Structures are given as C-alpha cells and as structure tokens.
Chains A and B, each alone.
Chain A
Amino acid sequence: MKTGRLVIIDGVRTPFCKMGTDLAPLGADELGRIVVNALLTRTGLDPNRIDEVIFGCVGQPADAANVARVIALRAGVPEHVPAITVHRNCASGCEALTQAYEKMAANRGSVFVVGGTESMSQIPLLFKQSAAARFAALSKAKSFDQKLRTLASFRPSDFQPRIGLQLGLTDPVCGLNMGETAELLAREFGVTREAQDEVALESHCRAVAARDKLTEEISPVYLNSGVITNDNGPRPNQTLEALARLKPVFDRKTGTVTAGNASQITDGAVALLVMSESKANELGFAPLGCLAGYAYAGCDPSRMGLGPVFAIAKAELLTGLALPDADVVEINEAFAAQVLAVLKAMGSEKFARKVLKRDTPLGAVPREKLNVNGGAIALGHPVGATGARLVLASLKELKRRKAKRALVSLCVGGGQGAALWLEAL
C-alpha cells in the first residue's frame, strides 16, 4: 500500500525573544499553549478531530512533565486526544513533524498538531548532587540535634548552583561545549573570523528586511504588560565593526566564535497543523505544502556542526532529491562557523570521497537560496522550537517565490544532523 503524503496546513509561532526579555516570565508550557491556542483559532479546526499532539522540547520544565500533554489540555484539546513530548535536541521541532508522518504511515492517526517550545529563560539552576544528598538527610533528620548536625555539614560550595543551560549545551560524551565544537570546525575548515562576522551581519540584515514576511508567521503574545508582536533579536543597526569588536567566548586567546556570530539564546514556540492529504481534502483545508522526505544522521559529537552534511547526503539516498533540486535552503545558524564549514564540506570532493563515501560532492548553495529571511544568529535559537520554525518559514517562502522545493537542515547537539525536504502544494 502506498502511503499518502503528510501535508502542512498552517503554522504559527510566538515572536522569538531573547532570553531574559519579554517572554522570560512564560514557561515552555505557557509558550506552547499560546501557539496551539493561536493555531486552533486561525485554522478553525475542531479540536475533536486531532489524533495526537506532538511537541518538541529540550529543557523540559520540571513543573510540567510531558509538556506536550500540558500544552494540549491547556489549549483546549479534548482529554481523549493523547500527547507526546519528543526530544532530539536542536531538531526536536523537526522530530515532532516527522513523527507525525511516521504515525500517519503506520495508520495511527491522520490529524496532528506538532511543534516545538522552549523557554531558555526558565531552564533552572541546579543543586549539586552533594548538596541534594544533604538536603535529603536534613528532611530525614528527626531530632533537633540531628538537624543541627546535618545543617552544619553543608559546605559553601554546596550552594554554588550548576547552570542548567550550560550543562545542556555541553556534550556529555566528548565534553566539549557547543561553542567549542564550532571552534573546532573553524580550525579544521579554515573558517576565518571575518567570514563568520559577514554571515552574522547578513543574517541580521535579511531578518530586518524580512520583518513583514516574518510577521505572517507570528501570532502576538498577550501579556499583562501589553502585547508582543515582533522578534526582538534582529538588530537593524548591526555593523561589521561592532561585530569585530566582540571578544571570542570559547577560546579567548585565538578563538573566532563570538556572541555576535553564534545563535542567540531565545524563548519561543511554534505550532503546525499537519494531516494526511486525504484528510485535508475531506475537511476542505488548503495546505501550504507537504513533507517530501527526510533523514536523520549521526556524526562525531565533537563535530556536531557538520550534521547537516550527513543528513542531506542520507536524504538524497532515501528520496533521490539532491541539493540543486532545492529552491530554498535552510541551514540552521547554530554558529556562523558551523554553517560555513557545512558549505565547505558539501562543496568538497575530498570530503565527499573520504567521509561520505561518494564520488561527487553534494553541491554548492547559492547565497540567494540560503537562509533568505535571516537565521538563528538574528532571530535566535529556542532549541526545541527552531526545527518547526524552519519548516514554517521555508514553506511560506516557497509560497511567496512560487517555487517548488525547500530543504531544511539542522545540526544537532550530540552529533546528529536533520534534513527535511518540503514541497509547495
């Protein structure tokens, strides 16, 4: 039996706001609720028709276990509809979409609300294990004497918090911070500081120029203090000189990766309504596009930034679609160094033969096709949500360009890559 296509009907996202700014008071569940609420309002879908809610989230809130379920219930999705939270690090938002496809293909439903949500602001500070053990002993202590003795056993270092965000951005296997993996790529592929800063500047310029286009994706967030309608990451007055003045963060002496040419740490959420093509016809929805194929691939965790290269190569094997077939390409800008390294690797015959075990390189990506409305350096990278944003943004861009195919790819912390082929309908 031939499996039908999974079509994307519509999507919506919150404005992406830098960590600690406008959206900081909202947890990942609240951000997710807001987008699902907006998606249901905008599409007029009867929530009873949803078969499952699938949401990606990396820093899952401690007070909202299975955050997808919390989001679904709070957004008015009926109780009988199940919900699952997925985690593939930076590609969690893609994973939600591809899982919907897999469920549809396995005949486990035909209408899905998928997406991603992340509150980087609310990733908690943690106590060390030694401190946790002492707190546990304190709560068990019965007599006053015991309590006093346990209290006295605390050391000042016990109260030094472990920063959850920092832990999450450090690879537990190779021990490198994400920024350090980018530095490694910059060294190995000879990516200069200037080239990185140019990518960063371009990202800001494009995002600022595309403000009206981006507004199409955004649903306002209503807070007590007022309404948030725009991303606050893109800087209209960004200059190369200002970028050049920034100090490298991860290798202070000889490094090239700065806060300016890395993705911003941001809060945000995205929701997409997807369904089988036949269901869309039945319900009378006009889709934006469909998922034409996808691949996830693994790679060296310390060079996780190259993930897209492996995923795009794998997707080509699976779908027959090659880089030149794409009218729009998104390579998530985790780091400018990493995007440039990916481009170099994809164009290199040596890399193709040695690493990818194929005769020809994947191909080049012209600048006018790549990250055309700005990337994560300007807009920010709420890790669980970005994948879904790229899908939404590239589908909308295909519509605008009246073009056919888009390729969305991300590098994934832990040494993976994701590549999704989308087609306009």
Chain B
Amino acid sequence: MRTEVLATNEKGLNPGIVQSARELPLASGAQEKSFIFTHRRVTDGRICVLTFDRPDSSANVFDRATLGELDEHLDFIAGSPELKGVVLTSAKNSVFIAGADLHALAGASANDLTHLIELGQSVFNRLASLNIPTVAAIHGACVGGGFEVCLACHYRVASPDRATKIGLPETQLGILPGWGGSTRLPRLIGLPRALDVILGGKTLAAKQALKYGMVDDLVPRERLVDFACRKILTRGFEPGRRRHGLKLWATNNRLFATAVSLRIESQLLKKTRGHYPAVFKALEVVTRGLSRTLAESLALEREAILGLAGTEECHNLIRIFFMQEHAKKQSYILGQTPVVAIPVERAAVIGAGVMGAGIAQWLSSRGIPVILRDVNAEQVAKGMAGVTQLYNEGVKRHRSTKLEARAGLDRIFPSAAETPLRQVDLVIEAAVEKMDLKKRIFQELGELAGPNTVLATNTSALSVSEIAAWWRSSWRGNRVRKRCNARCGSCSRSASCRSW
C-alpha cells in the first residue's frame, strides 16, 4: 500500500512545492519510510515525480545518504509497473543539484571513496536502465554529479533562466566525471563537444547547453514539470540519438577518437606543460571508453578517478575551490567583528584611470549606478573606453549578453566637472597615488557628499590612516564614521577604508 498514489496534486502551481512522502497521512497506519533529502509524489497521470530538496540548505548535493534515498525511490519505481514515467526535479531556487558533496569527497578515505563512486555509478545505472521514460527537469546549477544523474535520464529539459548552468567542471578540481559523465556525455552529444565540455571543465548557460545537445528542450521554470509529464504521456520526445545519428556515427568511432586524442593531447601538453594530470586522464578515459561497452567504460572512469583523487594536484585544487567559496561568503574584514553592509544604491568613483574604470565597471555590472569622475573630458574618455572594453570582453566570453553589457554601460554617469554627490551612498577615490592630491580630493568630497555618504579610498601605496586622520581633523571630527570593504572583482583589488 503506497500512500503517495492517493495523495497527488498535479495542478500545484509551483512544481517545486510538492507534498513530501513524510507529510502524507498514513493510510495503512504502517510506519511509512520517510525521506529527508527528496520528496516523491505520483501524479494523476501515474508519473513519479522525484524532487530533490535538501533540508536547511539552498543547494542539493549528492552524498551517500541522498544516493541511498534515490536508490530506494528506484526500488519503488521498479515495483510499481503502473507508472508511466519518472521526472527528476529540484525544489531549490537556484540549484538543481550542485554535484557531489565536496566536503565528503575531500575527507574520504580511499575505501570510502571507492564505495561512493561505485554507489553513484550503480544507482545511476539503475536509473538509466528503467524501461519507462525518465526526464530531468532542470532549473538552477546542474553540475558534476548533478548533470551525471541527468545524463542517466532519457531526456533533459531545462529552464532558460540565468541560474541554470549545466556542465561537468570536475577537471577543474583535478578529477574527472566518475559517475558516468565521461561515458554518457560523448555518447549523447558526440566526442568533440563532449571533450570540449569535460576537458574545459565547462558549465554552460541553458541556451548553449541546448545548442550542444546536452538538454533537449528549454521551457519556463514554472512549467518544467508539467511539460515533462505531458511529453512523457504523449511520447513527445524524439530520441536525441536519432536526431544526431549521423554526427555521432561520424565522430564516435575508434579511428576518429584516436586521431582527436592525439591532436588534443599535444595541445593540452602545450597549454598545461604536463601539469594537471586530470585533463590527460579524462581525455584517455573518454576516448578509450567510447569504443568499449558501457560497463567497461564506467570501470575506466572508476579506476581513473580513484587514481586522481589521491594526487596532490587534486587536493590543492579542491582547497583553492573551498577558499574561493569562503571568500565569496566573507562579508567583513578579517579579524574584525562582522558588520552589516550598508545598502549601496548609488556610487561614485573619483579617478577614471585603470583602477577607477575597473571599479566603476564592477559596480555598474552589479546594477549600481556609478558616477565616474575625473578632472577633464579626456581622462573621463579614457575611463569610459576602459569600462567599455571590460564590458566587450565580458560579452565575448559569454559572461554577459550584449543587452546586459549595454545596460551596465548605461549605468555609468561620466562627469568631467564638479558633481553633486548628495544622493550617493558610497564614494571610492581611485586617483593617482599622491597624498596631496588625495587630501584635496577628500576635502572636495567632504563638501559635496551627503551626511551618510561613505568615503573610501582605493590606495595601495599610501597610508589610509594618514588620510583618515587628516580628514577627521580638517572636518573637525566625525561627520562620517563608517567602514567599508568594496571588493573589486574585475581587478581583484580591494578598496578599503578602516575606522574612519
């Protein structure tokens, strides 16, 4: 007796909100198995919807427990012949599944790791061998193991949102896709593109992923699950293999694989000078696995990842990753008590040099209108050219669309004359490194800025304390006593002013 079949709510507006198994009334009175990381429901159309929803977290990850739950759901599905299909989805706002739990991975012993890899492979294999259609309904980051579970599904639909990023970044961490990604991706989209994604450790925007064939359809987020269910019921999916048949035939054979492998290996050697063993291993696994059976290829993956996980390169890359993540969450200056960030609605940058332009571009790309001020039109023009160039590069590297870049550029308010700064929350001084000049600028800023404006300097060579002390004395004390820490990502510099 399964209670989920009784309690279905197919017309739920938000597919993310589904009744979890543990919340259902127990029809039989028997203790129903409760799930922690996933929910399961069965729709009126007898489609089983599995929703990943890790409690107290904004992300889903695969650890042993989650894989175990998925395995149990597969038990249920295998034992329910009336089911017409399976849909995998996530209840999170910006994450589908962010891959394997790296903390668990980093701390695992060799034995644990072997077990984890084997568990993932076997669960995903079970999913792949279901004889009813399976669909991954992807919204949000779908990377690493998160995408490998999608690869084990028959079809993939994704939302076109910005949050949706799809890919296999494992090689960036010194390992390779080991839960079937190195095996299934080239079989799905062909060797050249699969190598591009895997060796580059790339995550793609939804549109790009569609172009690559990594997903089959793009559908708005709110309609993902409905669409997937409807497609299952109407048998509307066209198998990707049929669509890409000719291309796959041309690229996925031993001859092509060997040729490509040789060429790419020499390119990689040039690029990495032989460091980063993961990319070479991944190349080997992908190209060799292609002409073997699925099981053999998976074995190659397993062997390779276990070898790589022990290397120093892998440890260091994972450590860097953790450090970057930590830095992103850092909201205060090290060694000081956390402060609440003041909301910055408008900003100004004084000095339109390389630094000033970089800071202005960074701020404006985050939606903040920025006044970019310098002494004359020629200097401002140089700054504007710098900002434009940064935006153009962003477009070239697919970091932003043309429209987004234009909107960012529109947020720059160039000014070659004295400008009122009363409406401005934050002023960052980024002028030439001369103490006299800086003092003069701050004198002027004191007159132009409002009472709540935070004044900051981007100096790296001069003493912030000296400017601060002088400023405080010249303004008889204390109109402003704030501290701020504007991190400037575009030039990885930090503009800071302390205890003013």
Residues on A lying within 8 angstroms of B by beta carbon are 33, 37-38, 40-46, 74-76, 220, 222, 224, 226-227, 229
Contacts and interface: CB of A to CB of B under 8 A. Distances in A.
Contacts of B369: 76
A37 B410 contact: yes
Closest 7 CB pairs of A and B: A44-B420, A227-B381, A222-B384, A41-B413, A220-B377, A74-B410, A227-B377
A42 B422 CA distance: 12
B203 to A, nearest CB: 31
Nearest to B392: A224
Nearest to B379: A227
A224 B383 CA distance: 10
B380 A44 contact: no
Contacts of B421: 44
18 contacts: A33-B410, A37-B413, A37-B414, A38-B413, A38-B414, A38-B415, A40-B413, A41-B414, A42-B415, A42-B417, A43-B420, A44-B419, A75-B410, A220-B381, A224-B388, A227-B377, A227-B378, A227-B380
Contacts of B380: 220, 222, 227
A74 to B, nearest CB: 5
A43 B413 CA distance: 12
Contacts of A37: 410, 413-414
B233 interface: no
Contact of A76 (B381, B388, B410, B419): B410
B423 interface: yes
Contacts of B413: 37-38, 40-41, 76
A43 B384 CA distance: 21
A224 B385 contact: yes
B381 A226 contact: yes
Residue of A75, A76, A220 contacting most chain B CB atoms (<10 Å): A220
Contacts of B411: 76
A42 B377 contact: no
B416 interface: yes
Interface of B: 369, 371, 377-378, 380-381, 384-385, 388, 407, 410-411, 413-417, 419-423
Contacts of A220: 377, 380-381, 414, 416
B340 to A, nearest CB: 24
Contacts of A40: 413
A45 B419 CA distance: 11
A46 B414 contact: no
A303 to B, nearest CB: 43
A46 B421 CA distance: 10
Given A38-B414, A43-B420, A75-B410, 10 more contacts: A33-B410, A42-B417, A42-B419, A44-B422, A45-B423, A76-B411, A76-B413, A222-B380, A227-B378, A227-B380
Contact of A41 (B377, B388, B419): B419
A42 B420 CA distance: 7
Contacts of A74: 407, 410
Nearest to A284: B422
A220 to B, nearest CB: 4
Nearest to B378: A227
A224 B392 CA distance: 11
Nearest to A226: B381
B11 to A, nearest CB: 33
Contacts of A76: 369, 410-411, 413
Given A41-B413, A76-B369, A76-B410, A229 B377 contact: yes
Contacts of A46: 423
Contacts of B414: 37-38, 41, 220, 222
Contacts of B388: 224
Contacts of B423: 44-46
Contacts of A43: 420
A226 B382 CA distance: 8
Nearest to B373: A41
Contacts of B371: 41
Nearest to A48: B423
Contacts of B410: 33, 37, 74-76
A222 B417 contact: no
B381 A222 contact: yes
Contacts of A44: 419-423
A74 B409 CA distance: 10
A227 B413 CA distance: 14
Contacts of B415: 38, 41-42
A76 B408 CA distance: 11
B452 to A, nearest CB: 13
A229 B417 CA distance: 13
A222 B377 CA distance: 8
Residue of B371, B381, B416 contacting most chain A CB atoms (<10 Å): B381
Contacts of A33: 410
A368 to B, nearest CB: 31
Nearest to A43: B420
Contacts of A222: 377, 380-381, 384-385, 414
A398 B414 CA distance: 28
A44 to B, nearest CB: 3
Contacts of A45: 423
A45 B388 CA distance: 26
B142 to A, nearest CB: 32
Contacts of A229: 377
A41 B413 CA distance: 6
A226 to B, nearest CB: 6
A231 B294 CA distance: 71
B384 to A, nearest CB: 4
A226 B419 CA distance: 22
Contacts of B407: 74
A15 to B, nearest CB: 11
A45 B423 CA distance: 8
Contacts of A42: 415, 417, 419
A37 B371 CA distance: 10
